[in-house]
Every structure is written in C-alpha cells, then in structure tokens.
C-alpha cells in the first residue's frame, strides 16, 4: 500500500459485489434488490459502495435522509433510483425534484406538501407510502379508508403512488409471532386500498436470509447482508429455516503500533489504572481509540489481532490510543499493523464478536467507525 495510515478500513469491492450477487440469487429474478447505503453504507463509504453495486447491477438504493440522497447523486450515482426512507417532508424539499429522490411518506400529513411540490415540477414525482404495521416506529397507522381518502386527494398524474412498504421489528425472533402479525396487518391494509402500487416491499436482511418468501413481494431492502453480516436468530431457532445467504464481511479495520514497551509487575495501565500488570509484560499502544470507533466499553475486554494471534486490550480505551498485551508476540515493533476487524494469519475477528464483548450490536460497531478513519478500497 503506497499511502501510510495510522488507522484505516480496507473495503473489498469484490466482496461487496459478491454479497450483492448472493442476495440477487437468493431472491430470484422477479424481486428487485435495493441495497441500503444509509449511515455512509454502515461505515463502508456510501459513494464507493454505491458505485460498486451500481456496476454490479443495482437499480435502487435506500438511504435515511435527503442529505444522504443528495450526496449519492453528487458522487455520480445518476441512473439508479434513490429511496429516502426516514426523513420528513414538513417543509418542501427542493432536492426531491432537483436530485430525483424518491420519498418514503410516513405520515398522511406529508401528502399535501408533496402535492404542492409536484405541481411545480416538470417531471412527475413518485413516492412510496410507509405503513406502521405494528413496529411502532415510522409509518402511518391510519386505517385503510383514511389512507384511501388522503391518496385520492393528493395523487395525480404529477404525483404517483409507486410503492407501499413496511418494516419488521422482530424478524430474527421465531417465537413471538410479531412478524406474522405485522405481515397479516400489512397485507390486509394493502388489499383494502383502492389502487395497488407497482412495488411492495417489507424485507431487510433477516427476512431475506432466513427465506421468509411470503414477505418479499417485488423488492427487498438488504443492508447488513450487503456488508457481509446476518444476525443470528434470537429466539425459536429450532423453528427457523436454515440461513440461505452466502455472504462474508467486506470490511477489515486496521491500525498500527505507535509504541511497544516492557513494564514490570505491579504497573498500572492507562486511565483510572483499570488494569495492573500481574507479571512483567510487553505492552503495545495502537493508534486507534474511541474517537476512531472502538467501543469504550471494550476496556479490559476487547480483542485485536497482533502478529496473527488474538490478544487482549488492557486498561481503558482512550480517545486516540488503546493499550494491548503483546507478551505473546514480543517481536512486534512500532509501525507494525494490528487488525481490529478482519483476518490475519489464521485469526479472525468480526463485528458480531466485537459487539458481544462490548454489549452492543454489530450494526453499531460498523456505523461507529468514525469519519477520521481512512477508507482504502481494494478489488
């Protein structure tokens, strides 16, 4: 690698494309795949991830906010549709028109705003309507008759209902029955609408990965699986179908040793003296801390790969550096690479393992990798 970084991620374009292809193959040719690239593509860099996936055939992307949608257009994502899933149209948003973004309307109050915007636009605006089928988060909870009245008042040749969507709260729980209840409520409402949208979509990674075909309809919205992760079943694993996606992490996260030192038994390490050396030991100080995204809760608990071995974080995670135990790999020296996420010399650590140690979820570990961490893309 020509550049020298202190802390960086290495994202495999080939892996992203293969993960996308694996999802494509699982859902078959009749289901559109809309990769979710919100939150800077879960820390992977939305612009490059979207370019790679567009080359691999993606015709839709989903983001959270209008700003994220504009950023994709400005990065050159011109052809594919961009669905904005979680913003609000309380005020008119010129970028819907100027950047051809597709809003997901989650409250019927937004329809008059969109109607005004569409009236002044040269091209028709297509929108998706989000239904709260029982998650209790974004989406309208209005009954079908009320939705039908609001649509009748707003929809016109200039403002078209293209899609209807919902989202599951507990897709990885095969015991609670919540997903079945949500799907039944969603389909009942859909049937009661006077017009059927062209696109119906409900499924994120988990309902794709465990083959919940009855939910897929015309489009699916995978995020986590694009990056190579599928959450395990949380309850009722015996009644869950086998996982059908072949995906692997596309991101490795690396840093370098800034210093190596030997300390005598009894020495405290780092803030608050959270760790005391029981015997003489060799300590490494790596150039990554919580400001880079290492969860602070990994203090005294986390693992990294150094010299091809899993070794322990010792003491508190600091803002810019973290201390690790190099006693078992004494040959390492300043400048040597240490792996925070990824594979090295047969040892492996992924965001799900890190999340378990930190008491959080893998999504949060990936999204937590901060903006100051350099992005390196490899084929």
Ligand X SMILES: *Cc1c(COP(=O)(O)O)cnc(C)c1O
Q: Which residues bind ligand X (CB under 6 A)?
A: 36, 38, 85, 167, 204-205, 221-225
Q: Where are the beta strands (DSSP E) in the chain?
A: 7-12, 32-33, 60-63, 81-84, 101-105, 125-130, 159-165, 199-203, 219-220, 251-263, 268-269, 275-276, 281-286, 303-306, 309-317, 322-325, 337-344, 347-349, 374-378
Joined tokens for residue 120: 């002044």
Looking at the Cβ atoms of 17 and 225, the one nearer to ligand X is 225
Residue 44: partners with Cβ closer than 8 Å, 6 or more residues away: 9, 11, 16, 227, 250, 251, 366, 375
- State which residue has the least CB distance to ligand X: 223
Structure tokens at 101: 């973004």
CB of 170 to ligand X, least distance (A): 12
Q: State the catalytic residue, choosing from 4, 158, 174, 271.
A: 271
> Which DSSP helix (H) or strand (E) runs through 191?
helix 178-192
CB of 157 to ligand X, least distance (A): 28
Residue by residue, DSSP assigns 256-324 as EEEEEEEE-TT-EESGGG-EE-SS-EEEEEES--TTTT--GGGTTT-EEEETTEEEEEEEEE-SS-EEE
Comparison of 81 and 167: residue with beta carbon closer to ligand X:
167
**Within a 10 A sphere around the Cβ of 334, how many other Cβ atoms?**
12
- Of 38 and 81, nearer to ligand X (C-beta) is 38
Q: How many CB atoms lie within 10 A of CB 52?
A: 25
Return phi, psi of residue 349, to 5°: -145, 130
Query: Toward ligand X, which CB reaches closer, 159 or 204?
Result: 204
Closer Cβ to ligand X, 10 or 87, answer by number? 87
Task: Clarify whether 130 is annotated catalytic.
Answer: no
Q: Which is nearer to ligand X, 64 or 370 (CB)?
A: 64
What DSSP character marks residue 246? Answer: -
Cα-Cα-Cα-Cα dihedral sign, residues 155, 159, 164, 167: negative
Using alpha carbons, list the distances in angstroms from residue 12 to 52, 72, 74, 365. 10, 19, 23, 18
Quote the least distance from Cβ 36 to ligand X, whole Å. 4
Least spacing, CB of residue 131 vs ligand X, in Å: 11
Between CA 234 and CA 356 the distance in angstroms is: 13
d(CA 318, CA 308): 24
Q: In terms of CB distance, is 38 or 256 closer to ligand X?
A: 38
275 is annotated as an active-site residue: no
Query: Is the Cβ–Cβ distance between 86 and 110 less than 8 Å?
Result: no
Minimum separation from the CB atom of position 222 to ligand X (A): 5
Cα distance between residue 279 and residue 324, in whole Å = 15
* In the complex, minimum distance from the CB of residue 18 to ligand X, in angstroms, rounded to a whole number: 17
Of 38, 130, 254, 303, the active-site residue reads 38
Angle subtended at Cα 298 by Cα 292 and Cα 299, rounded to the nearest 5 degrees: 100
Choice between 61 and 290, CB closer to ligand X? 61
Active site residues: 38, 271
């Amino acid at each position: 690698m020509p550049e020298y970084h202190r802390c960086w991620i290495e994202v495999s374009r080939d892996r992203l494309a293969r993960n996308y292809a694996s999802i494509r193959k699982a859902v078959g040719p009749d289901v559109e795949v809309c990769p979710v690239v919100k939150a800077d593509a879960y820390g992977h860099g939305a612009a490059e991830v979207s370019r790679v996936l567009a080359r691999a055939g993606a015709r839709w992307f989903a983001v959270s906010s209008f700003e994220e949608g504009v950023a994709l257009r400005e990065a050159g994502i011109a052809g594919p549709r961009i669905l904005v899933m979680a913003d609000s149209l309380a005020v008119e948003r010129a970028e819907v028109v100027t950047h051809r973004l597709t809003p997901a309307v989650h409250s019927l109050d937004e329809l008059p705003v969109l109607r005004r915007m569409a009236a002044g636009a040269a091209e028709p605006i297509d929108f998706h309507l989000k239904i709260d089928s029982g998650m209790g988060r974004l989406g309208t909870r209005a009954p079908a008759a009320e939705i039908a009245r609001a649509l009748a008042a707003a929809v016109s040749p200039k403002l078209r209902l293209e899609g209807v969507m919902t989202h599951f709260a507990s897709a990885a729980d095969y015991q609670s029955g919540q997903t079945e209840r949500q799907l039944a409520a969603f389909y009942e409402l859909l049937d009661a609408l006077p017009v059927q949208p062209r696109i119906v979509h409900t499924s994120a990674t988990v309902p794709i990965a465990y083959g919940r075909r009855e939910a897929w309809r015309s489009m699916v919205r995978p995020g986590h699986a694009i990056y190579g992760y599928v959450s395990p079943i949380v309850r009722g694993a015996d009644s869950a179908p086998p996982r059908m996606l072949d995906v692997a992490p596309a991101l490795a996260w690396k840093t370098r040793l800034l210093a190596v030192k030997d300390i005598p038994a009894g020495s405290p390490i780092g803030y608050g003296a959270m760790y005391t050396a029981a015997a003489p030991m060799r300590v490494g100080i790596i150039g990554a801390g919580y400001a880079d995204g290492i969860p602070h809760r990994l203090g005294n608990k986390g693992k990294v790969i150094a010299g091809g071995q899993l070794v322990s974080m010792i003491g508190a995670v600091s803002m810019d550096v973290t201390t690790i135990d190099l006693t078992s790999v004494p040959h390492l020296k300043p400048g040597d690479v240490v792996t925070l996420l990824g594979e090295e010399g047969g040892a492996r650590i992924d965001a799900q393992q890190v999340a378990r140690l930190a008491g959080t979820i893998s999504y949060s570990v990936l999204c937590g990798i901060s903006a100051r961490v350099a992005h390196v893309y490899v084929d």
